[in-house]
Amino acid sequence: MNSLLSQLIELIIYVLPAMVANGAPVIMNGPPPVDFGRRFIDGRRIFGDGKTWGGLLGGMTAGTLFGAIEAVAVGADLIPYAALASLGALIGDLFGSFIKRRLGLERGQQAPVLDQLGFYVFALLFLYIVGKTFPLVDEVLWALAIYGLHRATNWGAYKLGLKKVPW
């Protein structure tokens, strides 16, 4: 098989847990907020009420469990990577909210690209740190797929009443 294509499939297998971890908190969440309501030196919230410990727990659990399901097909070695990619995704999402609050954007306000791809860049970074790397062209291709998917699923979640805004 074309090696870029087989490596794209491998990238997808490694990144799907991160995508699950990023999406799960929409339905698996709960207080307290990660920042416990505290404010940064600029007087705005550190992360805001959209980032909860329940969401981090839900995201880690769902992402790692998804990796365990994939592991049935590709081997148990995947599971720690799934947990690491999930952690990266959730920290990336927190980082995104931190940046949004610093820019004066309220919880739920749109930040193009950051909202859709911040978690993905962090998941790839966390995998990179432990030596799991992928071809840049595959990373970019899958970024485009995630961008579209993120738009579509958030619109769906909005229509289902799970989210207040369609992004």
Contact residues: ligand CTP, CB under 6 A: 25-26, 29, 48, 50-52, 54-56, 90, 93, 97, 100, 107-109
* 101/84 Cα distance (integer angstroms): 26
Other residues' Cβ atoms within 10 Å of the Cβ of residue 23:
21
Tell the smallest beta-carbon distance from residue 14 to ligand CTP (Å): 21
Q: What is the largest CA-CA distance in the chain?
A: 55
* Residue 13 vs 57, nearer CB to ligand CTP: 57
Tell the smallest beta-carbon distance from residue 108 to ligand CTP (Å): 4
In 43-113, where does DSSP find H-type helix? 53-74, 78-102
Tell the smallest beta-carbon distance from residue 166 to ligand CTP (Å): 11
Residue nearest to ligand CTP according to CB distances in the complex: 55
* Residue 22 vs 142, nearer CB to ligand CTP: 22
